[in-house]
Amino acid sequence: MLKFRLAFVLLVVSIITALVMFTNHVSVGLFMGTIILLWIVIIFLGSMSMGWQFFLTAKTKHPKSKKAFFAITFDDGPNPEFTPQILDILEKHNAKATFFLIGKEADKYSGLVKRIIRCGHEIGNHSYSHSPYIGGFSAKKWLAEIEKTNSVLKQYAYNMVYFRPPFGITTPHLAKAIQHTNLKVIGWNKRSFDTFFKSESRILKRITKDLKQGDIILLHDKQPNCLPVLERLLQIAKQKQLQPVTISQLINEN
């Protein structure tokens, strides 16, 4: 949020500068157009890049990790076809992960939610609807999305700690909504783009290049390519003597 305020101050200073230029008969149109364009670009990149910490604070990695831990996270589940297979692969490798669940999907597939928890994995809030228009939601609507999913997951007597916004979008409205919860926002520093790329080797390269302790990897448990990628990722992690753990374990190093 601090960066957003600094950007706003910069905009105000630029407008004042433009007014001074205008009073001195200096062409102001091009100057103002450039400033407005830069402002729009900064706001857009700030909302789409969680690592910028532009509107709110989000944990995107844990570089101070003293143990050989890293975190694998899955968004958009639970999925009845792929989530069970992912759980099988994780169990085979004695690996733990964090699943950021969509509320409406968790509502439909309660058995999968129970299995995720029973297997010792962690669950997080990923909104209720995962609406493609969620970036334009008001603070009230953001909060409703978060609280509705919390309500769904409360039936499992699970203490919800983490939230990840759909698409990694952050806005001033989300920042305001988060202040009314006890949730911590979690991002990532290694994005697979497995919902865009079909090539397993390309996806794997993105998440294993310079893989190290403290990294947070983003995958989706609704993609068929996630299964072979996860299998190979866990093999590479073992070779590097890295242990996949939950977000809580990574941050708290328990």
Predicted local confidence at residue 22, as pLDDT: 57
Give yes or no: residues 21 and 112 share one domain.
no
Predicted local confidence at residue 23, as pLDDT: 57
Predicted local confidence at residue 116, as pLDDT: 98
Q: Is residue 19 part of a domain?
A: yes
Residues of the chain with confidence (pLDDT) below 50? 2, 9, 254
Give yes or no: residues 233 and 180 share one domain.
yes
Q: Is residue 12 part of a domain?
A: yes
For tokens 């590479």, the residue is 236
Give yes or no: residues 41 and 63 share one domain.
no
Query: Would the CA dihedral through 234, 238, 240, 242 be positive or negative?
Result: positive
Q: Which DSSP string corresponds to 40-99?
A: HHHHHHHHH-GGG--SS-EE---TT--SSEEEEEEEEE--TTTHHHHHHHHHHTT---EE
Give yes or no: residues 36 and 109 share one domain.
no
Give yes or no: residues 39 and 133 share one domain.
no
Give yes or no: residues 175 and 212 share one domain.
yes
CATH number reported for the structural domain that contains residue 95 in this entry: 3.20.20.370
Q: What is the rounded distance in angstroms from the CA atom of residue 217 to the CA atom of residue 88? A: 19
| pTM of the complete model | 0.84
Beta 216-220 vs 162-163: how paired, if at all?
A: unpaired
Q: Which residues are identified as catalytic?
A: 75, 220
Compute, in degrees rounded to 10, the torsion defined by CA atoms 206, 212, 218, 223.
Answer: 60
User: H-type helices in 93-244, by residue range?
Assistant: 103-108, 110-118, 139-154, 172-178, 200-208, 226-239
Contacts of 118 (CB under 8 A, 6+ apart): none
Residue ranges making up the domain that contains 27 = 2-48
Q: What is the rounded distance in angstroms from the CA atom of residue 52 to the CA atom of residue 35? A: 20
Give yes or no: residues 40 and 138 share one domain.
no
Cβ(84)–Cβ(230) below 8 Å: no
Give yes or no: residues 41 and 164 share one domain.
no
Q: Is residue 231 part of a domain?
A: yes
Domains: count for the chain? 2
Give yes or no: residues 172 and 150 share one domain.
yes
Predicted local confidence at residue 63, as pLDDT: 79
Predicted local confidence at residue 31, as pLDDT: 58
Contacts of 189 (CB under 8 A, 6+ apart): 51, 60, 61, 215, 216
Q: Is residue 183 part of a domain?
A: yes
Q: Is residue 53 part of a domain?
A: no
Q: How many CA atoms within 13 Å lie on the side-chain side of 191?
A: 14
* pLDDT tens-digit series, residues 73-131: 999 999 999 999 999 999 999 999 999 999 999 999 999 999 999 999 999 999 999 99
Cβ(95)–Cβ(141) below 8 Å: no
Q: Is residue 127 part of a domain?
A: yes
Give yes or no: residues 202 and 109 share one domain.
yes
Give yes or no: residues 123 and 208 share one domain.
yes
Q: Is residue 102 part of a domain?
A: yes
Q: Is residue 112 part of a domain?
A: yes
Q: What is the rounded distance in angstroms from the CA atom of residue 238 to the CA atom of residue 232? A: 10
Per-residue burial over 57-81, b if 16 or more Cβ lie within 10 Å, else e, is ebbbbbeebeeebbbbbbbbbbbee
Q: What is the rounded distance in angstroms from the CA atom of residue 114 to the CA atom of residue 95? A: 18
Give yes or no: residues 80 and 130 share one domain.
yes
